[in-house]
Chain A
Amino acid sequence: MARGVTISRKSVNTIAAGVLGLLMFFPVLWIVILSFKTEGDAIKAPLEILFGTGWTTESYGTVQARSDYFKHFSNSLIISLGSTFLGLLIAVPAAWSMAFVPAKRTKDVLMWMLSTKMLPPVGVLVPIYLIFRDLGILDTRSGLVIVLMLINLPIIIWMLYTYFREIPGEILEAARMDGATLREEVVHVLIPMAIPGMASTVLLNIILAWNEAFWTLNLTAAKAAPLTAFIASYSSPEGLFYAKLSAASVMAIAPILMMGWFSQKQLVRGLTFGAVK
C-alpha cells in the first residue's frame, strides 16, 4: 500500500531540495556575478559586490582581446568529441565481448582497467611526455585526442558493459539465428537498444574530456591548448584578475553547461538505466 505524503512534508522536501540545489549552484552563480564586475569591485565584501557596485561587460571584452577564445574553444570541441568517438570505436566491441561472451577472467580485466584510473596522472607524466616528444605529437590535437581517449576508455567500457548486460542475450541470439552477421548484430540490434545508455556515456565523456585539466595543460603549448589553458592563463598569485578569471571561466563552461542543460533528460535516463528492476 502506498504511503500518503502530506503537503507539508512535500513542501519541506521541495524547500530542502531547492536549498541544496542553490548551494551546489552557488559557486557557478558567484563566478557569473563577478564576471560582470570591475577588478576593483570584484574584491569587495560579498554584500557590497551584490548591491553596492555597478555591472559591466568590460572583463569579457578584455579577455577576448587578450586571448583567442575561439581557437581554444575549437580545440576543446575537437579534443572532447574526437576522444569520445575514438573511445566508442574501441569500447563498443570490448563491452560487447565482455557482456555477451565473458571469459573466466573478464571481471578481473574490468577491475584492472578501472584500477588504472587510480594511478595519479603525475606518476606517468614524464614517460608520456617523452613518448609524445619522440612521436612529435606534443602540442597537437591528435595527441590530446589519443591521451584523453585512453584516460576515459575504462569509464566508457564500464558504462557500456553495464548497459549491454541489461539487454537480454536471447535477442542477439535470435538475430544471429536469422542470419545477422556480427557487425549487423551490433549495429542493427545492440546499438539501437542501448541508445539511451550510449547517449549518456557520450555526454559524460564529452564533459570529462572538456574539463580535463592535467594532460591538456601539460601536453600543450600554444597550438592545441583548449579552454582549460585559457582559464589557467587568468590565474595569478601576483595581480588582481578575479573578474577576468571569472569571465574566462564563464566563457569556458558556458558551452558544456548548455549542452548538459539540453541533454539532461537523456543524461539522467541513461545514468539511471537499469538502476530499478
Chain B
Amino acid sequence: MKKSLMTLNRGLIGASALVSVAATAALAEEITIATVNNSDMIIMQELSSQWEAATGNTVEWVVLEENVLRQRVTTDIATDGGSFDIITIGAYEAPIWGGQDWLVGLEDLGADYDYDDIFEPVRNGLSANGTLYAVPFYAESSFTFYRTDLFADAGITVPGAQMTYDDFAAIVAKLHDPDNGVFGTCQRGKAGWGENMAFVGPLVNAFGGKWFDLDWNPTIDSPEWKAALTYYVDLMNNYGPPGATANGHNENRALFADGKCATWVDATSAAGYIFNPDQSSVHDVTGFFQAPKQVTDKGTGWFWAWALAIPKSSQKVDAAKAFLAWSTSKEYVELVGETKGWVAAPPGTRKSTYANPAYSEAAPFAATVLNSILAANPADATRDPVPYTGVQFVAIPEFQGIGNYVGQQVSAALAGQQSVDQALANSQQFAVREMTKAGYIK
C-alpha cells in the first residue's frame, strides 16, 4: 500500500512538473525586434538579458542600418508580413503608420508605466488621432556645440538670448583658422532628408520659409528658401571643412570631437559623446547654446525621437507590450544610469530622468537639451501657417522622396556643381510633380 502510494506520489510530482514545464513553455515567447545600430540601442540589447531572465521570454535581434531598416520594416508592415514583433521607428513614421492602422495602440502598458512622466511634445509626436502608437526610447532636438576655449581666446561672449544666424556667421568668421586646423563651423553636407536636410530644414524655418502653403503647393522656389540656402552655401564654402558634402552626423561628430570645428549645430543626443573624456578630446572645452534664429525663432531646433512600436501583424502582442513597458520605463532609465553611467541614460523622454540629481550631475548639458526639446513644437514650426506637422520633416508619406531629392540638389549646390537658383528650381519642379501625382494638388 505504502509502495503504491509512493508510486502515485512520484507520478503526481512528475505530472505536475511536466504540466509546469509545459505551462512555462506555453507562456515563454520568442519575440523578434528590428532596431538600428546606435549606442543607446546597443545598451538595450545588452540589458535585455535581464528582462529575458525575469520573464522567461527570449529576444531575437535584427540590427540594421537606419535606411535599410526603414526599407525592410516598411516592406514587412505594408504587406502584413509579420516578421517582427517590435520595430524601431522614428517620429516621422509613427504618426503616419499609426494613422494607417498598421500599428498596435499602446495606451495599456500598465498602471506602473506612468504615461504622464513622458514629455508631452514627445508623446504627441508619436501619436495619431489621439492614440499613442509608439513609445519613446530617446528623443532629441538640435542645439549649437561650441568651443569655449576658442570663444574665450577670440574674446567672444555667448549672448543669453537666442542669437541670429547673421550673428552666428560673424562669430564663425572670427573663429575660422584653417592654418591651425580649426574650421569656423561644421554642418551636415551629405545628401538625404535625415542628413543635410535635418540642418537645412530648421534653417529654412528660421528664415521664414516653409515646404508647402496651405493648399499643399510647394514653396521651395520662394525668396525665403533662396536666402536660407545662399546663407548655408556661403557659410560652408567660406568657413566649413573641405569636402563637406561627404560629412553627415558621424563625420562632423568625429571632426568636432577631434578639435577641428569651432561650432557645430546638430543633435542634442551627441552631447553624451562629446562630453565623454574617453571619446572626445574637447570634452572639457565644449559649451552649448540654442540653435540660432533669423526672421523667426519658430522651428529652429529640430525634433526627433527613436521609438518602439508593435506592428499589427505581430502574433505576440502581449510579450511585445511587456518588453516595451520594461525598455521604455523609468526603471529602465535608472538601470542604464546605474550600470552604464548616468551620462549614457536615454535622454529626452521622461521627466523623472531630468528630476534625478545623478543625471544632472553627470550630464551638464541636461537642462539645455531639455529646453531645446520642449521648445521644439512640430505642430507650430513655421512663421506662416502650414497644413503639416514636423520641424525638419513634413509628416506625409511623400516627404521621404521629396526630402531626399531636395537634399541631393542642396548637396550639388554646396559642391558647386550648380547654382542655388538651379537647385531650388529643380527641387520645386520635382516637389510639384510628386505632390500632383499623390493627389494633393488638383
Contacts and interface: CB of A to CB of B under 8 A. Distances in A.
B248 A237 contact: yes
B60 interface: yes
Interface stretch (A21-29, A110-118, A123-131, A181-189): A123-131
B249 A125 contact: no
Q: Main secondary structure on chain B at its contact with chain A? A: mixed
Contacts of B71: 218
Interface string A213-237: 0000110011101000100111111
Interface string B78-91: 11111110000000
A16 interface: no
A237 B75 contact: no
A230 B231 CA distance: 42
A239 B39 CA distance: 7
Contact of B82 (A44, A67, A133, A240): A133
Nearest to A127: B79
Contact of A238 (B34, B60, B82, B249): B249
B74 to A, nearest CB: 10
A250 B218 CA distance: 46
B246 interface: no
B250 A237 contact: yes
A246 B408 CA distance: 28
B440 interface: no
Contacts of A229: 62, 64
B251 to A, nearest CB: 8
Given A221-B62, A238-B66, A40 B279 contact: yes
Nearest to B46: A66
A67 B60 CA distance: 11
B65 interface: yes
Q: How large is the interface on A (under 10, 10 to 19, 20 to 34, 35 or more residues)?
A: 20 to 34
Nearest to A231: B65
B38 interface: yes
Contacts of A157: none
B36 interface: yes
A238 B67 CA distance: 11
Q: Main secondary structure on chain A at its contact with chain B? A: loop
A222 B58 CA distance: 12
Given A133-B82, A139-B83, A225 B62 contact: yes
Contacts of B32: 221-222
A83 to B, nearest CB: 21
B292 interface: no
Contact of B38 (A67, A125, A222, A239): A239
B195 interface: yes
Nearest to B68: A232
A241 B61 contact: no
A5 to B, nearest CB: 44
A34 interface: no
A156 interface: no
B75 A218 contact: yes
B45 interface: yes
A241 B71 CA distance: 21
Interface in B27-72: 32, 34, 36-39, 42, 45, 60-68, 71-72
A91 interface: no
B254 interface: yes
Nearest to B35: A233
Among B76, B78, B248, chain A packs the most CB atoms within 10 A around the CB of: B76
Interface in B91-126: none
Contact of B249 (A223, A225, A237): A237
A211 B387 CA distance: 45
Contact of A125 (B75, B82, B250): B75
A48 to B, nearest CB: 11
19 contacts: A40-B279, A66-B45, A125-B75, A130-B79, A218-B72, A221-B32, A222-B60, A222-B61, A229-B64, A232-B64, A232-B68, A233-B64, A235-B64, A236-B37, A236-B38, A237-B195, A239-B37, A239-B39, A241-B37
Interface of B: 32, 34, 36-39, 42, 45, 60-68, 71-72, 75-76, 78-84, 194-195, 248-250, 253-254, 258, 267, 269, 279
